[in-house]
Amino acid sequence: MSSSPNKLNVHALIWQDQQLAVLDQRQLPEQVHYDFFTTAAEVAEAIKTMRVRGAPAIGIAAAYAVALSVQQHYSPQNTEWQKQVNADITLLAASRPTAVNLFWALSVMQETLLLIEHSPVDEMINKALEIHQQDIAANKKKALCEIQWVVEF
């Protein structure tokens, strides 16, 4: 395989500079446009308004949204930060009530929230990145299996 210098590299979600870039899928294929979000409420609205589409992307966006919530609310002086994050999780759950991946990702992030030992912001961002990377790896593995199947038949 060779890579073309003109290859279009589009990602549904990009974690960059402590914010989430979301490809506005409503504008495809005419335009590739990213919106940048720094709060869970903004991501919940993006999910609700169908900027984010597809079960895996919705789940990953929700995981990043929880990380954004921790980033927004956590400070050693704020004893209410976990309640604030849980309120954002409830808001995210309401953004697409039938999305299985959404609830799975929120559950994983809630479990991680309960097990935090040192740096809540870093740990939650790392968990969201891990969920995203696992999805990419699973898609690549699936694609390789499908290529093998096509070659065999």
The per-residue pLDDT for 2 is: 34
Provide the CATH number for the domain around residue 147. 1.20.120.420
pLDDT tens for each residue of 27-39? 999 999 999 999 9
Identify whether 117 is part of a domain: yes
Indicate the number of domains in the chain. 1
The per-residue pLDDT for 1 is: 31
Joined tokens for residue 36 = 């940048």
The per-residue pLDDT for 118 is: 86
Instruction: Give the pLDDT band of residue 8 (cuts 50, 70, 90).
Output: low
- The verdict on pTM exceeding 0.85 is yes
Identify whether 7 is part of a domain: no
How many whole angstroms separate alpha carbon 67 and alpha carbon 18?
A: 9
Identify whether 76 is part of a domain: yes
Per the structure, the complete domain to which residue 59 belongs is given by 13-152
Identify whether 61 is part of a domain: yes
Joined tokens for residue 105 = 């990702």
Identify whether 144 is part of a domain: yes
pLDDT tens for each residue of 81-126? 999 999 999 999 999 999 999 999 999 999 999 999 789 999 999 9
